[in-house]
Amino acid sequence: MLSIILLHGLLALGILSARRFIGRYAFPVAVIGPLATIGWAIWRAPGIVDGTPRVERLEWVPGLDLSVELLVDGYALLFVALVGVVGAAIFFYSAAYFRPGPRVPLFAASMVAFAGAMLGIVTSDHLLSVFIFWELTTITSYLLVGYDDRSAKARSAALHAAMVTGAGGLAMLGGFVLLADAGNSWLISDLVANPPGGAGLAWLLVLIGAASKSAQAPLHGWLPGAMAAPTPASAFLHSATMVKAGVFLVGRLSPAATAETDWWWPVVLTIGVATMLVGGWQALRQTDLKLLLAYGTVSQLGFLFLLAGSGIPALAYGAVALVLAHGLFKSALFLAVGAIDSATGTRDIRRLEGVGRSLPWVFATTVTAAASMAAVPATFGFVAKEAAFDGLVGEGTGLVAIVALASVLTVAYTGRFLLGAFGPATDEPTGVDQIGGWKVWVPFGLAGAGLVLGLVPGLVKPLVESAAVAISGDAAGKLVVWPGLVPALGWSLGSLAVGLSLVAVPRAVDAVTAAVATVTDRGPSTEGAFRAGLTGLLGGADRLTATFQSGSLPTYLATIALAVVAAGSIPLLGELGGVELPSLGPAIEIPLALVVSISAIGLLLTRRRFAAVILLGGVGYGIAGIYAANGGPDLSLTQILVETLAIALFALVLRNLPADFDRARASIGRILTSVAVAGFVFVAGLVAVDSRTAPSVAEYYVEESLPSAAGKNVVNVILVDFRAMDTLGEITVLAVATLGVAALVLPLLRRKQS
Amino acid sequence: MVETPEISLVAILPELALTVGAVVVLMVAVSSRRAATYLPWIAGLTVAATGAGLIAQYNDVAANGFSVSYAGMIVLDNQGIVIRTVMLAAIAVALLVGWRYVTGLGTRGGEALSLVFLSAVGFMLMASSIHFMLLFLGLEVGSISLYVLAALGQRAKRADEAAMKYFLLGSVASAIFLYGVALLYAGTGSLTYLGVFEFFSGDTLVFSDGLLSAGVALLFVGLLFKIAAAPFHSWAPDVYQGAPAGIVGYMGAAAKIGAIAALLRFVQVPFQSVIESIQVPLAAVAAFSVVLGTLYAIVQQDLRRVLAYSGVSHAGFLLMGIATGGVAEVQVLFYLATYVLVLVGAFGIVSLLEGSGSAGSPIENWKGLGRRSPFLAWSLTVFMLGMAGMPATAGFIGKFGIFTRAWSGDLEWLVIVGLLASVAAFFFYLRVVVAMFFEDGDGKTPKLGWPAGIGIGLTLVITVGLGLYPTPLLDVLTAALG
């Protein structure tokens, strides 16, 4: 399997690299991937169906315990087959659907990369690789939805889908990590075999991730938006495969989750039922065939989520059968809509007319697939739904009744779909062009497969049974053409009949949905919530940037200074309590300190550069005086020398600068920052003076200067003898600095001369 | 008499080679009219000599074990050799991809070259220093060279502003660092790593001493500034955007190598016994950097700023490994090595597209590059995926290694923060990829010379090679550091 996944990656890379030459061969090349998948599935199916999962293990980085772990059991095989069959069909269809253009190879590459990622999700046993492939499908889906890059709507829909499923993926990743930690293994097979206890949060996070990917209410808003993708992508990703990833995952994990938590099944049930009803209801209101199908998909996904997430063998059996059925009929319907769209130029049910007469094969396809969707007997949709109802009957009448209600909606929107596509137009009708080739026969084939399986379900029975056994340990259901007179049949035929009666009164249904809509549309929508959230996030990031990353040097300095104060003052303040104030030195210190302080304050207030330089000198000379008063004449002399030199240099520079500073703005923030920094330095000084515990190293230097180094000038000896290495280093720094200054200044001087 | 400290030439061989190279470059540049024709040879010889020096060091350590010389200032050990090798690789790739920048400077190309060598000397010394004074000197030699490099390009307002900011803020950070060293000395009475280690291991609860704690905090702040960890990162975006494209990748890489080398030794030796006290603040800075860098990067419209903010989050990931103490040293070094090469390579591509002295690189300019220059577009894609940590690139192995170490080092919360941020980061790493391949634009078509081609190709091979099969390097690192 690993080689098949890699093959998909290579095909995608190859098509992208050769995008200039590949032209119309992009899809014929891409289809190699799904065909190889089908070949692999047929080759491996006998062994897997017999109950021996195919395990592939590749030691990747033993030092980090990284390995690639693939496990293909019956459950995974079902999805592998679905990806392969639907994928191959859709690639053939796409070859006819797209007019050759520069962006078509991008589409083909994204699709084949997606197919590979999807195979990765369903065959990975390692949670991390599940996650990686999961996010790869998000990325490829983003590219496919945003394929029409000139359409702002498509780009925005792509972003919406990517953000919701991406964020869900993040939650899921958090859940995976917690799960792996609790169960002490990254392998799904281990975690399902020995479910870790006490990992409630982990299960919840995983559930959120799965629900976002499978468009469960209230996160379902992205899926209708994703219909901005070209129809083949919608058929492949947004109905047959990607949106089933969440269903796949809860199906895999629900036995363990229900064993370890008592809330999992009620929560999944609530989500599933809400999604079914919301999707079905919304589908009844759509006028765009594709959107109608999209909401129908939402509704079906709710049903699948409920069944697969139950952890109950009988329901799991229904889930796997329905996954297969839904994949076949929904992709057929999407592709048929694509064919209608390209023949008429519209998907609006108010304008379509005469399609059935002009395109009889498309009509036949659509009716067959729609019958499967509505679970009309003799279709595979009926067979699968019977299996599901059969399981549900055992779980209580209330539950069956709710599902039956959703089925009524399904029948109703199926009718609306058929009438809309082939019935009379209410608006200005469109013409119908003739189309043929793959565009007609691929959906026909998919729909026909549903019909054949509806009559001979035994063809896929081993596959469905081994899938059910793989997740629930039991094949607690049956696939039969006619179940006999059982309660399940009553429920399904009953909902069919009620649904059909609704179809008979379309105007009444429209009136009711419109009336309800006036109320419900006023409430918050997921789309609106997403927009508001996104605007808030980007706006917040922008404001953050504008405040802290304004490019203003004072702001940067203030940020760093405050961080330093925060880091340094926490330990310092604790010391402050025991500090003894240093005793006052000679009396002359008082006037000197006054000079320093007054000069410093004046420095802040003056607007004249020259005055500022003089006042700066005042600070320096005052400090030199304090040195002298405390018995350090040499230090004092050095300080005076440096100050004088600095003033002279400043005076030279000042000739080239304006006489006044720019008007400084004294904001509260700046004043507080200054006070904080000054306070920090003051406290540090106070604590430092008080904290000497060891004798000064100076005494050692003074003592040893003459005997060890034969020098009478202690400062010199320290520089060139005791700390000679440091001095060498300092000289090096100075040399580098000089070099740098020269490199920067000399060219300017040269330019001035010439 | 004061004893003469032990002088070991082999301990500083690579630095010596680079210094000689820098001096020769300068001499030739001022004395010969045909300097430009000699520069490539001198540069190549210097890099080769430095490599030879590293081999000599490796043999020495293999034969004699690690050794300390220069009065306890310099250690010669495998960890230092690994870091210097990374530094050398960064120089080599940077010179290859940025060679057009060096030659474009004309007579000042020699100066740029010698400053690159000198900065490397400084940061390499940081890797072998076990003395806080020498560490500071290395930091200054390296940083000052970088300040000048930032200003050396064509005269452009934004470049000048960036260089000035870098210089002023960098100097403040150096001052903070130095004050930290002073307080540390006041508290422990020692300037050597070993002395500080002995002081701390005598009394593990010393952090009651406020002055000492403040000193240690300031010491770390100085280095955190150099690696652009949040909240000390504010200079990075402006500098990454404004400094000459031909050299800015190297600038970012070199400073990170030096400072990470120092931080790694900090947690291994001087502060090893008090790691519990510094772990929480370090982990907090790591989390802050990862989250802030990612959030900021998402809203950027300029690839260079994206790379700058991604650098902030990479600093966070590296700190995550450092916060675990010495246990993640192999992973940190692997991450560092692969990240800096990709950083240099990515900026090399930026400079090819925008011109080596350019400032800024709006995403707009990248649209349609996939058609105009497939090699560069693919290379940048791989580099971006590498930074994002996509499996099959070295970035994934690096992140995974650090995450697993941090997880087993009781920093689970930090790993979860890092994981979520690194997934969110795909959003901005992929933006430029989408622009290159999926959006149309008619920007410039870069010309790829053979030096740049070799440099980028080399980085590409390393990124993918180590992503697919990292075991040999991990084994070597584990053996060297074990």
Contact across the interface for A556 and B71, Cβ inside 8 Å: no
Letter string b/e over residues A75-88, b meaning 16 or more CB atoms within 10 A of that residue's CB = bbbbbbbbbbbbbb
When CB atoms are compared, the residue of B235, B371, B470 closest to A556 is: B235
Inter-chain contact A545–B478, Cβ cutoff 8 Å? no
- Give mean pLDDT, residues A107-123: 95
Measure Cα distances from B128 to A408, B67, B86 in Å.
76, 11, 13
Which whole number is the average pLDDT over A357-380?
Answer: 92
> Choosing among B190, B191, B299, which should be mutated to test the A contact, i.e. which has the most A CBs within 10 A?
B299
Instruction: Identify the residue with better confidence: B481 or A412.
Output: A412
Q: What pLDDT is recorded for position B155? A: 66
What does the DSSP 8-state code read for residue B68? E
Residues 6+ apart with CB under 8 A from A442: A89, A90, A92, A93, A335
Statement: residue A528 has pLDDT above 80:
no
Q: Which alpha helices (H) appear in B189-209, and where do they start and end? A: 193-202
**Tokens at residue A484, please?**
């006999």
Asked if A752 has any chain B CB less than 8 Å from its own CB, the reply is no
Per-residue pLDDT band for B154 (boundaries 50, 70, 90) equals: low
H helix intervals, B324-449: 329-354, 369-372, 374-388, 394-408, 412-438
Phi-psi region of A434 (alpha: psi -120 to 50; beta: other; left: phi over 0): beta
pLDDT at A84: 95
With 80 as the cut, is the pLDDT of residue A666 above it?
Answer: no
Helix B35-64 × helix B78-104 angle, to 10°: 180
- Tens digit of pLDDT for each residue in B78-94? 999 999 999 999 999 99
Which has the minimum average pLDDT: A90-99, A345-354, A611-620? A345-354
In the prediction, which pLDDT does A406 show?
A: 93
Average pLDDT, chain A: 88
Residue A524: which pLDDT band, with cuts at 50, 70 and 90?
Answer: low
- pTM for the predicted model, two decimal places: 0.86
Our measurement of the distance from residue A252's CA atom to the centroid of its chain's CA atoms, rounded to an integer in Å, reads 22
Interface predicted TM-score (ipTM): 0.84
pLDDT in the model for residue A556: 87
**Contact residues on chain A for B370, CB-CB shorter than 8 A:** 16
| Pairwise CA distance, residues B432 & B436, whole Å | 6
Residue A511 token pair: 């009136």
> Per the structure block, which two tokens stand in for A207?
């559930």
For the ranges A587-596, B53-62, B308-317, B431-440, which has the lowest average pLDDT?
B431-440
Interface size between A and B, measured as CB pairs under 8 A: 194
* Chain B touched by A737 (CB under 8 Å): yes
| pLDDT for the residue numbered A483 | 84
> How large is the average pLDDT for residues A106-114?
93
pLDDT (tens digit per residue) in A543-582:
877 777 777 888 888 888 888 888 888 778 777 777 777 7
Distance CA B118, CA B203 (A): 40
Q: Report pLDDT for A217.
A: 84
Question: φ, ψ for residue B74 (rounded to 5)?
Answer: -125, 135
Q: By the CB < 8 Å criterion, does A574 face chain B?
A: yes
Residue type, B312: V
Among the listed residues B349, B354, B335, B337, the one whose alpha carbon sits nearest the alpha carbon of residue B382: B349
Q: How confident is the model at residue B205 (pLDDT cuts 50, 70, 90)?
A: low
**In chain B, positions 59-98, which contact chain A (CB-CB < 8 Å)?**
70-71, 73
* A213 token code pair: 């990917």
The closest CB to that of A560, out of B118, B232, B370, belongs to B232
pLDDT-based confidence at B325, cuts 50/70/90? Answer: confident
The pLDDT of residue B207 is 52
Cβ-nearest to A549 among B70, B296, B440:
B296
Distances (CA, A) of B339 to A47, B121, B385: 45, 20, 11
Asked if B387 contacts B421 with a C-beta cutoff of 8 angstroms, the reply is: no
Query: Is the pLDDT assigned to residue B281 strictly greater than 70?
Result: yes
Q: Is pLDDT of A60 > 90?
A: no
Contacts of A563 in chain B (CB under 8 A): 221, 231-232
Contact B219, B177 (CB under 8 A): yes
Average pLDDT over residues A290-314: 94
The yes-or-no verdict on residue A665 having pLDDT over 70 is: no
Checking DSSP bridges between strand A54-61 and strand A66-72, what pairing results, if any? antiparallel
Would the pLDDT of A8 be above 90? yes
Q: A370-374, A577-581, A732-736, B299-303: which has the minimum mean pLDDT?
A: A577-581
pLDDT in tens, A463-490: 999 999 999 888 888 888 888 888 888 8
Q: Does B472 touch chain A (CB under 8 A)?
A: no
Nearest to B111 among A64, A571, A743 (CB): A743
pLDDT tens digits for B50-81?
A: 999 999 999 999 999 899 988 888 999 999 99
- B144 at interface of A, judged by CB pairs closer than 8 A: yes
Task: Give the C-alpha separation, A484 to A305, whole Å.
Answer: 27
The per-residue pLDDT for range B6-52, each reduced to its tens digit, is 888 999 999 999 999 999 998 888 887 787 788 899 999 999 999 99
DSSP state of B65: -
Strand partners, B246: none
Over the range A485-512, which residues count as b (16 or more CB within 10 Å of their CB) and which as e? Answer: eeebbebbeebbebbbebbeebeebeee
CA distance A747 to chain B (A): 9
Q: What is the mean pLDDT of chain B?
A: 89
At which residue do the structure tokens 């026969």 appear? A441
- Amino acid sitting at position B76: L
Q: Is the pLDDT of residue B214 over 90?
A: no
User: Hey, are the CB atoms on A744 and B152 less than 8 Å from each other?
Assistant: yes
Task: Please list every residue in chain A whose beta carbon sits closer than 8 Å to the beta carbon of residue B118.
Answer: 736, 739
Segment A148-202, tens digit of pLDDT? 777 778 878 888 888 888 888 888 988 998 898 889 888 999 999 999 888 888 9
How far apart CA B317 and CA B301 sit, in angstroms, is: 24
Determine contact, residues B346/B240, Cβ cutoff 8 Å: no
CA dist A381 and A400 (Å) reads 17
Predicted confidence at residue B368, as pLDDT, reads: 86
Q: What is the mean pLDDT of residues A428-433?
A: 81
Please give the share of chain A, as a percent, with pLDDT higher than 70.
99
**CB proximity A682 to B under 8 Å:** no
- Nearest-angstrom CA–CA distance, B366 and A240: 35
3-state helix vs strand vs coil in chain B, percent to 5: 80, 0, 15
DSSP label of A58: E
User: Cis omega (within 30 of 0) on the bond before B231?
Assistant: yes
What is the C-alpha separation between A149 and A155, in angstroms, rounded?
Answer: 6
So what's the pLDDT on residue A171?
A: 87
Provide the residue type at A593 as one letter. A
Residues 6 or more apart from A21 whose CB is under 8 A from it?
none
Nearest neighbour of A542 by CB, restricted to B71, B211, B299? B299
Query: Residues B154, B273: contact at Cβ < 8 Å?
Result: no
Q: What are phi and psi of A348, to 5 degrees?
A: -85, 120
